[in-house]
């Protein structure tokens, strides 16, 4: 087991000021993987001070210089892709196939997209008798989650660096090892000291200190809506800008005439991949009442292919959830659904067969779910699908929009125009039409309690810019 006692601050690894530690657990085996420091407010202060000292020089560099460093980061990610995948499988429990293709491949694609965006981005424009400058927002505090640990780091840090900002990163305590690996990649990319800083720690101490630090000018957070709300309140005291990517309760709506079998099969991949620990997972399947029982049968058949197992086995499609606490929470939601009258189609609250150790949850399908049930309203964040029936498209729209969230969703229809028309009426930030693939260059973010701001693409870069106009 590796034991680390340092933070990456001011261009070098230095001993953590705080004396607390975090033990990283393998979710599949419950064995200890490593120990990292639980950084204190003093560590955050050192990192923010280093970032502030580097900000003006880094912000004044020309885009071409920043582009050289971004290319080096991308190349470092590619060179270490196998190490990255193995690390995330170990500390997150995600199957190695998904870890390689998505958990590693997606951030590599995102980093590459910002190389292309920065190469063509105009930071100055003429508007009438004014010249408008798009300038870096300043010191960025980035707080990232454990469910897509490297993707969320890259989606925040890389565009912030491209914009000319300096960064203090506080990764999730469950998955700090891939963050340390990213810090080594950044160090090898030879950024000036203080431009990027990493402090591992608990959200209650290090995260709170970062959100409230007076030298941080923009706070980018991904996590639960409850924590996001408190982060925003804390940042608001200093009138900091915030970008919040929060929870979701996304609906996948299958309209009459659509390919029901394909829609259900794809839905199962969306809800069971990453063990359901995706903010944009299609956790509600909405089907017309005339096709309801057929859809439930299809869901059960598709679910049977997701057998929990060893995440290091290339054949495994679903691994454990991240922690014992998460496992117990997800099982608690399943029981809440059953107690409220939902029908258990497959899965349940018992441990999966042959998974005596590890934080495993049975892939679960709940039918006869009504919109007033807790499982239909709250984010479960586990491998649990709720199937709801609707009477007509207007009823389907009401159900789709009938939660506090609005992050993502899907629409299936016999023709694309019908699907688009329905999707345009959904109160959500991103909708997949007839199974359209995720696009890492398109803006990602939510409506309502799913957050404010956007990540990815040009809009993701512009989150880290502020505008100044000079009139002539």
One fold for 2-246+450-471 and 250-439: no
Q: Which two tokens stand for residue 390?
A: 């609707």
Please determine, for residue 1, whether its predicted confidence score (pLDDT) is greater than 90.
no
CA nearest neighbour of 458 among 72, 58, 191, 119:
119
Nearest-angstrom CA–CA distance, 217 and 198: 17
Nearest-angstrom CA–CA distance, 20 and 22: 7
Residue 315 has a CB neighbour count (10 Å cut-off) of: 10
* Cβ atoms 246, 258 nearer than 8 A: no
Mean pLDDT, the chain, as a whole number? 97
CA-to-CA separations, 97 to 85, 89, 101, 312, in angstroms, rounded: 9, 9, 6, 8
Higher pLDDT, 19 or 170: 170
Residue 418 DSSP SS3: helix
Residue position matching structure tokens 């950084």: 39
CA nearest neighbour of 77 among 95, 104, 54:
104
Identify whether 355 is a catalytic site residue.
Answer: no
53-85 pLDDT tens trace: 999 999 999 999 999 999 999 999 999 999 999
Confidence (pLDDT) at 218: 98
Nearest-angstrom CA–CA distance, 181 and 176: 9
**Residue in 173, 205, 217, 279 annotated catalytic:** 279
Residue position matching structure tokens 């925040």: 156
250-439 has which fold?
Answer: Aldehyde Dehydrogenase; Chain A, domain 2 (3.40.309)
89-116 pLDDT tens trace: 999 999 999 999 999 999 999 999 999 9
Confidence (pLDDT) at 265: 97
Please determine, for residue 356, whether its predicted confidence score (pLDDT) is greater than 90.
no
Residues in the chain: 472
Residue 139, class by beta-carbon neighbours within 10 Å (0-12 exposed, 13-18 middle, 19+ buried)?
buried
pLDDT tier at 278 (50, 70, 90 boundaries)?
Answer: very high
Please determine, for residue 18, whether its predicted confidence score (pLDDT) is greater than 90.
no
Beta strand spans in 98-222 (E): 124-127, 130-136, 139-143, 166-170, 196-198, 218-222
Would you kindly state where each structural domain of the chain is located, as residue ranges? 2-246+450-471, 250-439
**Residue in 205, 217, 245, 455 annotated catalytic:** 245
Identify whether 233 is a catalytic site residue.
Answer: no
pLDDT tier at 322 (50, 70, 90 boundaries)?
Answer: very high
2-246+450-471 has which fold?
Answer: Aldehyde Dehydrogenase; Chain A, domain 1 (3.40.605)
326-345 pLDDT tens trace: 999 999 999 999 999 999 99
Residue 30 DSSP SS3: coil
Residue range 456-471: average pLDDT?
A: 98
């Amino acid at each position: 087991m590796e034991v680390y006692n340092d933070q990456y601050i001011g261009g070098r690894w230095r001993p953590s000021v705080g004396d607390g530690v975090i033990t990283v657990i393998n979710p599949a085996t419950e064995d200890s993987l490593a120990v990292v420091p639980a950084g204190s407010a003093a560590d955050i202060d050192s990192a923010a001070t280093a970032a502030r000292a580097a900000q003006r020089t880094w912000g004044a560099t020309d885009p071409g210089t920043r582009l050289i460093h971004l290319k080096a980061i991308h190349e470092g990610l590619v060179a270490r892709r196998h190490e990255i995948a193995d690390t995330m499988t170990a500390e997150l429990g995600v199957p190695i196939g998904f870890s390689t293709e998505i958990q590693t491949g997606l951030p590599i694609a995102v980093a590459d997209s910002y190389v292309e965006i920065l190469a063509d981005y105009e930071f100055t424009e003429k508007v009438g008798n004014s010249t408008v400058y798009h300038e870096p927002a300043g010191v960025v505090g980035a707080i990232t989650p454990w469910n897509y640990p490297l993707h969320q780091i890259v989606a925040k840090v890389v565009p912030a660096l491209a914009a000319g900002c300096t960064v203090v990163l506080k990764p999730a305590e469950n998955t700090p090892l891939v963050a340390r690996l990213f810090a080594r990649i950044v160090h090898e990319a030879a950024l000036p000291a203080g431009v990027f800083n990493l402090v591992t720690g608990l959200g209650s101490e290090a995260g709170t200190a970062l959100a409230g630090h007076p030298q941080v000018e923009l706070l980018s957070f991904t996590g639960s809506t409850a924590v996001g709300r408190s982060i925003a309140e804390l940042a608001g005291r200093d009138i900091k800008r915030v970008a919040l990517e929060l929870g979701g309760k996304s609906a996948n709506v299958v309209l009459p005439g659509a390919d029901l079998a394909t829609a259900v099969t794809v839905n199962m991949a969306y809800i069971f991949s990453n063990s359901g620990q995706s903010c944009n997972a299609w956790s509600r399947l909405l089907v017309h009442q005339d096709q309801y029982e057929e859809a439930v049968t299809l869901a059960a058949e598709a679910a049977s292919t997701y057998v929990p197992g060893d995440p290091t086995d290339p054949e495994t499609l679903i691994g454990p959830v991240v922690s014992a606490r998460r496992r117990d929470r997800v099982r608690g939601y399943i029981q809440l659904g059953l107690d409220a009258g939902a029908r258990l189609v497959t899965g349940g609250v018992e441990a999966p067969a042959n998974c005596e150790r590890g934080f495993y949850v049975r892939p679960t399908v709940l039918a006869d779910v009504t919109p007033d049930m807790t499982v239909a309203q709250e984010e479960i964040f586990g491998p649990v699908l709720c199937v709801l029936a609707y009477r007509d498209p207007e009823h389907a729209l009401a159900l789709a929009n009938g939660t506090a969230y609005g992050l993502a969703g899907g629409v299936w229809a016999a023709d694309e125009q019908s699907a688009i028309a329905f999707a345009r009426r959904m109160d959500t930030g991103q909708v997949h039409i007839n199974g359209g693939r995720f696009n890492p260059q398109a803006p990602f973010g939510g409506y309502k309690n799913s957050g404010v701001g956007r990540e990815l693409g040009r809009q993701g870069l512009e989150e880290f810019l502020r505008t100044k106009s000079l009139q002539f």
